[in-house]
Copies of this chain bind each other. A is one copy, B any other.
Amino acid sequence: MSAHSHTLEHAKEQVKLTPKREAVLNALLMTEKACSAYELIDFCKAKLDLSFSAMSIYRILDFLKEQQLVHKLEVANKYVACAHISCDHQHGAPQFLICESCDKVKEIHIEQSINDALKDNIAKAGYTLKSPQLELTGLCENCSE
Protein backbone atom coordinates (compact mmCIF):
# COMPACT_ATOMS: atom_id res chain seq x y z
CA MET A 1 0.00 0.00 0.00
CA SER A 2 1.51 3.32 -1.05
CA ALA A 3 2.10 6.06 1.42
CA HIS A 4 -0.61 8.28 0.15
CA SER A 5 -3.30 5.65 -0.04
CA HIS A 6 -2.50 4.85 3.56
CA THR A 7 -3.01 8.51 4.34
CA LEU A 8 -6.30 8.39 2.53
CA GLU A 9 -7.49 5.52 4.72
CA HIS A 10 -6.42 7.48 7.72
CA ALA A 11 -8.47 10.46 6.60
CA LYS A 12 -11.54 8.30 6.09
CA GLU A 13 -11.37 7.11 9.65
CA GLN A 14 -11.59 10.66 10.84
CA VAL A 15 -14.16 12.03 8.44
CA LYS A 16 -16.77 10.40 6.30
CA LEU A 17 -15.90 11.14 2.69
CA THR A 18 -18.12 10.88 -0.35
CA PRO A 19 -16.52 9.27 -3.41
CA LYS A 20 -15.97 12.65 -5.03
CA ARG A 21 -14.49 14.22 -1.93
CA GLU A 22 -12.22 11.24 -1.54
CA ALA A 23 -11.14 11.54 -5.16
CA VAL A 24 -10.18 15.19 -4.77
CA LEU A 25 -8.14 14.48 -1.67
CA ASN A 26 -6.60 11.54 -3.45
CA ALA A 27 -5.65 13.73 -6.38
CA LEU A 28 -3.92 16.20 -4.07
CA LEU A 29 -2.05 13.39 -2.36
CA MET A 30 -1.01 11.96 -5.71
CA THR A 31 0.41 15.15 -7.15
CA GLU A 32 2.16 16.29 -3.96
CA LYS A 33 2.02 19.74 -5.41
CA ALA A 34 -0.05 22.84 -4.95
CA CYS A 35 -2.91 22.77 -7.42
CA SER A 36 -5.44 25.34 -8.45
CA ALA A 37 -9.09 24.35 -8.48
CA TYR A 38 -9.16 24.07 -12.24
CA GLU A 39 -5.93 22.10 -12.31
CA LEU A 40 -7.61 19.63 -10.00
CA ILE A 41 -10.55 19.31 -12.36
CA ASP A 42 -8.18 18.51 -15.21
CA PHE A 43 -6.17 16.10 -13.11
CA CYS A 44 -9.23 14.17 -11.93
CA LYS A 45 -10.51 13.93 -15.49
CA ALA A 46 -7.19 12.74 -16.89
CA LYS A 47 -5.98 10.44 -14.13
CA LEU A 48 -9.13 9.35 -12.33
CA ASP A 49 -11.65 9.67 -15.16
CA LEU A 50 -13.94 11.72 -12.96
CA SER A 51 -15.70 14.88 -14.03
CA PHE A 52 -16.20 17.81 -11.68
CA SER A 53 -18.08 21.00 -12.17
CA ALA A 54 -16.18 24.08 -11.09
CA MET A 55 -18.81 24.72 -8.46
CA SER A 56 -18.35 21.27 -6.99
CA ILE A 57 -14.60 21.50 -6.82
CA TYR A 58 -14.78 24.69 -4.83
CA ARG A 59 -17.39 23.28 -2.49
CA ILE A 60 -15.42 20.10 -2.00
CA LEU A 61 -12.21 22.00 -1.36
CA ASP A 62 -14.01 24.17 1.17
CA PHE A 63 -15.25 21.08 2.92
CA LEU A 64 -11.84 19.45 2.99
CA LYS A 65 -10.36 22.69 4.25
CA GLU A 66 -12.83 22.82 7.14
CA GLN A 67 -11.84 19.28 8.01
CA GLN A 68 -8.16 20.32 8.02
CA LEU A 69 -7.44 17.76 5.34
CA VAL A 70 -6.29 20.35 2.85
CA HIS A 71 -4.90 23.88 3.12
CA LYS A 72 -5.30 26.78 0.81
CA LEU A 73 -2.20 28.73 -0.09
CA GLU A 74 -3.45 32.29 -0.24
CA VAL A 75 -0.46 33.66 -2.10
CA ALA A 76 -0.59 31.17 -4.94
CA ASN A 77 -4.32 30.57 -4.81
CA LYS A 78 -3.71 26.85 -4.75
CA TYR A 79 -4.54 23.91 -2.59
CA VAL A 80 -2.40 21.23 -0.94
CA ALA A 81 -3.14 18.15 1.08
CA CYS A 82 -2.29 18.57 4.73
CA ALA A 83 0.98 16.89 5.59
CA HIS A 84 -0.32 15.79 8.97
CA ILE A 85 -3.34 13.71 8.17
CA SER A 86 -1.76 10.53 9.46
CA CYS A 87 -0.13 11.89 12.56
CA ASP A 88 -2.42 12.89 15.35
CA HIS A 89 -0.59 15.96 16.51
CA GLN A 90 -2.78 18.99 16.96
CA HIS A 91 -2.72 21.30 13.98
CA GLY A 92 -1.39 24.75 14.83
CA ALA A 93 -0.77 27.59 12.43
CA PRO A 94 0.26 26.00 9.16
CA GLN A 95 3.42 27.22 7.53
CA PHE A 96 4.51 26.48 4.02
CA LEU A 97 7.50 26.61 1.79
CA ILE A 98 6.55 26.81 -1.84
CA CYS A 99 8.96 26.05 -4.66
CA GLU A 100 8.43 28.72 -7.26
CA SER A 101 9.94 26.52 -9.92
CA CYS A 102 8.13 23.20 -9.54
CA ASP A 103 5.26 24.16 -7.20
CA LYS A 104 6.24 21.55 -4.68
CA VAL A 105 5.08 22.47 -1.21
CA LYS A 106 6.54 21.54 2.12
CA GLU A 107 4.46 22.02 5.23
CA ILE A 108 6.82 22.86 8.04
CA HIS A 109 6.84 23.95 11.62
CA ILE A 110 8.77 27.00 12.57
CA GLU A 111 10.41 26.93 15.95
CA GLN A 112 8.20 28.30 18.66
CA SER A 113 10.83 30.85 19.69
CA ILE A 114 10.84 32.35 16.22
CA ASN A 115 7.09 32.41 16.16
CA ASP A 116 6.97 34.22 19.47
CA ALA A 117 9.56 36.74 18.40
CA LEU A 118 7.59 37.39 15.25
CA LYS A 119 4.40 37.88 17.17
CA ASP A 120 6.18 40.26 19.49
CA ASN A 121 7.50 42.27 16.60
CA ILE A 122 4.05 42.55 15.16
CA ALA A 123 2.49 43.56 18.44
CA LYS A 124 4.98 46.43 18.62
CA ALA A 125 3.63 47.65 15.32
CA GLY A 126 0.16 47.76 16.83
CA TYR A 127 -1.28 44.80 15.04
CA THR A 128 -2.76 41.67 16.48
CA LEU A 129 -2.32 38.54 14.46
CA LYS A 130 -5.11 36.06 14.21
CA SER A 131 -3.79 32.93 12.54
CA PRO A 132 -0.27 33.50 11.34
CA GLN A 133 -0.23 31.22 8.34
CA LEU A 134 3.15 31.77 6.78
CA GLU A 135 3.70 31.20 3.09
CA LEU A 136 7.24 31.57 1.85
CA THR A 137 8.31 31.27 -1.72
CA GLY A 138 11.70 29.89 -2.65
CA LEU A 139 13.40 26.97 -4.31
CA CYS A 140 13.20 23.36 -3.21
CA GLU A 141 16.18 21.05 -2.94
CA ASN A 142 15.88 19.73 -6.48
CA CYS A 143 15.30 23.05 -8.14
CA SER A 144 18.05 24.95 -6.36
CA GLU A 145 20.81 22.71 -7.64
Contact = CB atoms under 8 A, between A and B. Distances in A.
A12 to B, nearest CB: 29
A121 B108 contact: yes
A111 B132 CA distance: 17
21 contacts: A74-B75, A100-B130, A106-B126, A106-B127, A108-B121, A108-B122, A114-B114, A114-B118, A114-B121, A118-B118, A126-B141, A127-B136, A127-B139, A128-B138, A128-B144, A129-B136, A129-B137, A130-B137, A130-B139, A131-B137, A132-B136
A7 to B, nearest CB: 20
A135 interface: yes
Interface string A74-113: 1100000000000000000000010110000010101101
B122 A136 contact: yes
Contacts of A134: 134, 136
Interface string A40-81: 000000000000000000000000000000000011000000
A138 B129 CA distance: 4
